[in-house]
Each structure stands twice: as structure tokens, then as C-alpha cells.
């Protein structure tokens, strides 16, 4: 069992259901480094559009500090919070389904959750969709990799942190077809640093790109319908 899975297992063993109401689906929104608690700018419009399109859904904002931290301790806090949210839902609302949305460091948090819960586990089966933007552990040439126009121009990109640690999406999750990993052209976080991306502001464009928000919205609506 890897470190993430072990930490989540310890925390989930003592969780208690707290939900007062059940929903058809929950959009779990995980913000990026430096963003305040709440809806991430990376999903500006996407979440509200999905909630408007599909009835009886709700947004849940992952509770974690999103501080700069090379030790990944802040991301463990976030992945534990998501794990608790899903586990509580399985106990109190077993028919409830989840979509995981992560921006930047929030994508790393989401990756850790996917490492802890295999697609065939009870928790994994409750997860219907994953949408990441600006993923620092973006793996090249994987199913679900798209650019800001929902095309494939950045499908072969390698995230800037990919060589440093194994906080990536497991292969088994890519095989489910539930992953959409959006990497904006020249975003140095999801495509790595080089002369072309070094000073590019593309990492901050996701929430302001109509095509990115539509790409994510269409996928989420399809997977949650």
C-alpha cells in the first residue's frame, strides 16, 4: 500500500456520516496553490453550468491550505478531505456519485485520491468523472489528454513535476474513460519548462477560456447523465 493510500485508510476508518441530504451527484472542487478556500478560478463557469444542466447536484469545496509545499503535506490534507467526503457519502447516501475537479496543486490532490481508490473499489466506482486543468503530473499520450480547445495538440506534454515524484493518475483510471486532463498550450506547469513556456502566463488562462470551460462541461454532463 502506498503512502497516500495508507494515510487515507487510517483517516477513513474513523469517519462518521454527516450529510443531511443526498444528491444525485457531487462536484468536488479542489483549488490551486494560493487560491482561497472556495470555488477554484480554474472552473469559473464550468461548475455552475453543470449544476444548471443536471438537476439535484451540489458543489463541495475541498478543505486544504493549498500552500506552496514541496513535501506534499498540504496535498495529503486535501486528498484526505476528499476521501472523507466520499466515504461519508457511501455510508449516508450510497447512490450518490462524484466528479473530481482539480486545478494545479488541486490536480495533484485529485491524483492522490485516484492512487488511493482503485476504479473497482467501492469509492472508485462512485467516481464518475475526473477533470483536471494545469496538472503538474500530466502524463504524455494518455487517454483523456486534451488542449484548451478540446483537441490533442498538448496530449504528449509532460508535467513539470513528473520527474520528481509519482503523484500521477494510475493507468487503471485512464482505462475507464473517466479522465479529462486539460493542458493549455505553453502552460509550463502541465507541459514543462522550456524557452517557449518559461514566461508564459497560460497556467492562469483556464477559468477565462470559454473553450476550456465548455470542454469540461460537456464531459461532466455526459459522464454524470
Per-residue pLDDT tens over the stretch 10-40 = 454 444 444 569 999 999 999 999 999 999 9
> What's the DSSP call for residue 37?
S
Task: Give the pLDDT score at 16.
Answer: 43
**The residue to which cell 496543486 is assigned:** 105
Q: What is the CATH number for 116? A: 3.40.50.1820
**The residue to which cell 490532490 is assigned:** 109
Report the domain count for the chain: 1
- Domain range for residue 44? 3-224
**The residue to which cell 463541495 is assigned:** 60
Task: Give the pLDDT score at 17.
Answer: 42
- Give yes or no for residue 169 having a pLDDT over 90: yes
Task: Enumerate the β-bridge partners of residue 99.
Answer: 27, 129
pLDDT confidence bin for 199, thresholds 50/70/90:
confident
Residue 173 · residue 130 · CB < 8 Å: yes
Q: Please state the pTM of the whole predicted model.
A: 0.91
Q: Is the dihedral of CA 218, 170, 87, 3 positive or negative?
A: negative
pLDDT in tens, 43-97: 999 999 999 999 999 999 999 999 987 777 899 999 999 999 999 999 999 999 9
Angle in degrees, 0-180, between the axes of helices 105-116 and 73-92, rounded to the nearest 10: 50
Q: Which residues contact 110 (CB under 8 A, 6 or more apart)?
A: 30, 79, 82, 100, 101, 102, 130, 132
Task: Give the pLDDT score at 195.
Answer: 67
Residue 126 · residue 86 · CB < 8 Å: yes
Amino acid at each position: 500500500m502506498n503512502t497516500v493510500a495508507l494515510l487515507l485508510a487510517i483517516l477513513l476508518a474513523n469517519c462518521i456520516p454527516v450529510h443531511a441530504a443526498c444528491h444525485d451527484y457531487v462536484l468536488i472542487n479542489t483549488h490551486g496553490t494560493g487560491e482561497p478556500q472556495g470555488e477554484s478560478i480554474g472552473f469559473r463557469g464550468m461548475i455552475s453550468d453543470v449544476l444548471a444542466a443536471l438537476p439535484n447536484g451540489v458543489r463541495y469545496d475541498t478543505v486544504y491550505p493549498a500552500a506552496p509545499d514541496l513535501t506534499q503535506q498540504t496535498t495529503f490534507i486535501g486528498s484526505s478531505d476528499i476521501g472523507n467526503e466520499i466515504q461519508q457519502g457511501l455510508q449516508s447516501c450510497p447512490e450518490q456519485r462524484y466528479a473530481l475537479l482539480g486545478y494545479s496543486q488541486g490536480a495533484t490532490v485529485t491524483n492522490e485520491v485516484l492512487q488511493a481508490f482503485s476504479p473497482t473499489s467501492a469509492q472508485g466506482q462512485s467516481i464518475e468523472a475526473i477533470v483536471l486543468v494545469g496538472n503538474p503530473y500530466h502524463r504524455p499520450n494518455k487517454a483523456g489528454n486534451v488542449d484548451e480547445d478540446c483537441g490533442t495538440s498538448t496530449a504528449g506534454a509532460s508535467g513539470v513535476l513528473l520527474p520528481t515524484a509519482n503523484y500521477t493518475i494510475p493507468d487503471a483510471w485512464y482505462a475507464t474513460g473517466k479522465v479529462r486532463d486539460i493542458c493549455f498550450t505553453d502552460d509550463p506547469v502541465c507541459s514543462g519548462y522550456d524557452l517557449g513556456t518559461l514566461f508564459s502566463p497560460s497556467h492562469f488562462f483556464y477559468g477565462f477560456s470559454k473553450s476550456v470551460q465548455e470542454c469540461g462541461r460537456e464531459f461532466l454532463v455526459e459522464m454524470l447523465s
